[in-house]
Structures are given as structure tokens and as C-alpha cells.
Structure 1
Amino acid sequence: MIRRTVAAAALLCTPLRAEAHAFQAGQEGYDLFVQGVAQPWLALPTALVLVGTGLLLAIWREEGMLAGWPVLAVCAAIGFGLGPLVPPVGVVALAAFALAVGGLGILAPRLPGPGVLAMAGGAMLLSARYLMEDHPMGDLPLPFLLGMAGGALAAVGLPAGVVQASRTLTEAPWVLIFWRALASWVAAVAVLMVAFTLRGAT
């Protein structure tokens, strides 16, 4: 049983880098957009750091996502628009940032606003650069880029919305305790991801 559990954890936490984006001739803009939306969710490192960011924002303040939207939108535009101009982001760097986001999610109610917003912006920038892979400027179709940006924003907004809704429905202390515990799981998965990635590199 223990071996099976470890094997399952290894399979889950081993980041499988998506194959380079390929497009069939004649694909319409809507198809490219939908394909782009899926990319942040299909790549475990980006899904982890973005979902963790959503938790962080909504644990920090009940309407933390409203404060974070402008920062996230600007960083998404910069990351997906100018990403190829900066060096690539590796799995370990992204997972390490997810670890930081998850750890801060536990302490979020006591964190200063500028620090939380800076972490949210950093998460979006790193995720965007990771998703751009090695494509040069102008290589990816605009609908696909817009889809990836929308998918990345949704990966932050959806968990933040769930947390905000639960906090609106009840002020019971266990609500925040539950979400902070979930943020700790984000950090735990990030640790496993780093460990399995470094183990595979040796």
C-alpha cells in the first residue's frame, strides 16, 4: 500500500512539460483560443502556482481578488506579450515560487498588501514565461496567446472566487482554517515536485 501511494504521488508530482505548441493549418480563432485557455491547467507547475495565488489573495482579504485583478492583468499582458525577450523559466523555479505562495497562504491574513500583490504579479509573470516555452516573438497566434492569458487569469480567479464565496456565506473560524490548510497542501505538492524534478535530473 505504501509503495502504491508513493508511486501515485510520484506520478502526480512529476511535472510533464507539454509538447511544444503545434497548430494545424486552417484552425479557426475560436479553436486556438480554447486550446490556449487549457494550457495553464494542463501544465502542473503553472496550475499549482496560479491556484495557490488565488488562495493567497482570497485568504489575505475577503475581496483580495478585486485588489489583485489589475496587477494580474498587467503582468499577464507583459508576460505573454514580452515573454520571449527574457530567459526561460524552469520547473524548479516555478515550483519553488509555488512553495513560497503556498507557505504565505498560511500566513496571508497578517501579510502586508503590497507584498501579497507583488507575489501575485510574480506568479503570473513566471507562469506566462513558462507557458511561452521556446517560441520566438510572434510565433504563437494571437487567439492562442489571448486564450493562455485568459486561462491563467481564470486559474487564479476561480479558486479565489470559491474562497470569497465561502467567507461571505459564513464567518465561522473553520472556513479560513480550511483554506489555509489547503494552501499548505499547495506548498507540500510543490516540495514533492522540486524533489522529483531534481531526482530525475541526477
Structure 2
Amino acid sequence: MNRPLTLATLGALLPGAAFAHAFDTGRDAYGLFLEGTGVILATPALLLPLAALGVALALWKSEGMLAAWPALLIGMLAGFALAPLVPPTAALVPLAFGLVIGVLSALFPLERIAPAIPILAGLMGLAVIAAALEGHGFGEIGVLIRAGIFFAANAVVAVVAGAVRWITEHWPGEVTRIGGRIAASWLAAILVLYLAFAMAA
């Protein structure tokens, strides 16, 4: 790999300071909804932990997403309620939860900690939504932007979990599960780097 490409890659991984998201209130309804989805989809500190959760739910059991979804939804609703109260350091919490979930998925059979999986999903939902809206009061963000954030966060977990489940069902066997654990370990490694850079910043 040449030096400019290496520097560009490292630069892309370096997060900036954790500032609250600035929202544009002058858009139409569809634009506001898309802006909400963009908060999740364009923020690696939120996207990567949700992806780690999706992998974990699929490795846990085939219906892991459906089993943990109620807890995830409750956590997200709690995140909307608590977001105005959280400090700026809340931006680091999803990264930490994602790291824990990624490490557990990579190293341990999740069936052994089955009761904890929905709890972790709920905590992840709370952390992601609170971090996405950190710094904004109850009346500052419209319903459509909140709906976009809510939709995108759920969609990321569901799509990743669905993709891993589809792969494991079409190519069953231990090799496929090992591949899922490798994916979880890669996500955990990326989250370690991202968390380290964020804390340094």
C-alpha cells in the first residue's frame, strides 16, 4: 500500500470532536426524515455499534432479532426521553457497548449468556439514540427527524442480523458461524481504534 493511500485511510478513520448534530429545520417532510436517517447512516460511531449488535443477534439464535427487538425498541424510546440530559461524553457510550458486544460475539457462545442479550440490545438502543440527539432539548428536534433516526437505527440492526442469518441458513455449518465470529472480531477491532481516537480527541 502506498503512503498517500495509507494516510488517506488513517485520516478517514480519525473522528472529529464530538459535537452535537446540527439539524436543518427548513426542509420538507421527506427531507427531514432523510436527515434523521443520515444521522445514523453517516456516523460511524453510531453505525458500527448497531452493526455489531446485528451480528450478535444473528449468532445468538436464528430468531435473535425478533427476540431482542422489544428490548431494543424500549431502549430507543428511553434514549429519546433521556437525550437532553446526557453529557457530551455520551457519544463514547455506543462505541463502548459495541466493543463489548463484538468481543462477546467473537469469543463466547452467546447461548451461555442468553438472558443478557436482550438487555444489551436495550442498552445499545438507549445509548445510540441518546448519543444521536445529545445536546438538543425536547422541543428542538421535530418528530420527522426523530422518526428517521428511529427507523435507520432499527433498519441497520435488522439488515445486518438478516444478512448474517441468511448466510448461516444457506451455508449451514461451523465454518459459517466461525465467519460470523470473525466479522464480529473485525467490528470489535475497528471499534477499539475508533474509541481510542475519540477518547484522544
Output the TM-score relative to the length of structure 2.
0.89
**Mapping 1:12-161, distance limit 5 Å:** 12-16=12-16, 17=18, 20-25=21-26, 27-106=27-106, 107-161=108-162
Code of the aligned partner of 2:13: C
Which stretch of structure 1 is more off in the superposition, 168-177 or 184-193? 168-177
What root-mean-square deviation, in Å, do the aligned CA atoms of Structure 1 and Structure 2 show? 2.1
Q: Contact 2:52/2:184 (CA < 8 Å) preserved in 1?
A: yes
Which residue is 2:173 aligned to? 172
The 2-side partners of 1:83 and 1:92 are apart by: 14
The 1-side partners of 2:75 and 2:142 are apart by 19
Instruction: Provide, for residues 1-29 of structure 1, a one-character-per-residue CA deviation record: whole Å limited to 9, x for no partner.
Output: 3755653442232224576322142x222
Matched position secondary structure for 1:101 = helix
Indicate how the Cα distance of structure 1 residues 178 and 111 shifts in structure 2: closer, same or farther if over 3 A, else same: same
Rounded Cα–Cα distance in structure 1 between residues aligned with 2:19 and 2:32: 16
- State the alpha-carbon separation in 2 of the partners of residues 48 and 81 from structure 1: 23
2:109 & 2:178 partners in 1: Cα distance? Answer: 11
Q: Deviations over 1:36-65 (max 9, x none)?
A: 112111111100110100001111111100
Aligned partner letter, 2:72: L
Determine what percentage of the aligned residue pairs are the same residue.
Answer: 31
Q: Return the alpha-carbon distance in structure 2 between the equivalents of residues 60 and 20 of structure 1.
A: 33
Q: Give, in whole Å, the separation in 1 of the partners of 2:131 and 2:163.
A: 26
2:188 aligns with 187
2:83 and 2:135 in contact (8 A); partners too: no
The aligned amino acid for 1:138 is: G
Which secondary structure state, in structure 2, belongs to the residue aligned with residue 181 of structure 1? helix
Which letter maps to 2:12?
L
Query: Aligned partners of 1:3 and 1:93: how far apart in 2?
Result: 33
| Alpha-carbon offset, residue 87 of structure 1 | 3.3
Is the Cα contact below 8 Å between 1:92 and 1:194 reproduced in 2? Answer: yes
Note the alpha carbon deviations across 1:136-190, whole angstroms, 9 max, x for none: 1111010110110111111111100001111222322111111110000111001
For 1:172, the aligned partner's letter is G
- For each residue in 1:101-145, what CA deviation from the matched residue of structure 2 results, as whole angstroms up to 9, or x when unmatched? 110111243432221111111111111111002111111010110
Compared CA separation, residues 2 and 18, structure 1 to 2 (3 A): farther
Between the two proteins, the alignment pairs up a number of residues equal to 199
Change in Cα spacing, 1:89 to 1:122, as seen in structure 2 (3 Å) is farther
Structure 2: runs of 5 or more not aligned = none
Question: Does the CA-based 8 Å contact 2:37-2:148 persist in structure 1?
Answer: yes
Give TM-score scaled by structure 1 length: 0.88
Q: What CA distance in whole angstroms lies between the structure 1 residues aligned with 2:19 and 2:42?
A: 8
Which one-letter code corresponds to 1:7 in the other structure?
L
Asked if 1:198 is matched to 2:191, the reply is no
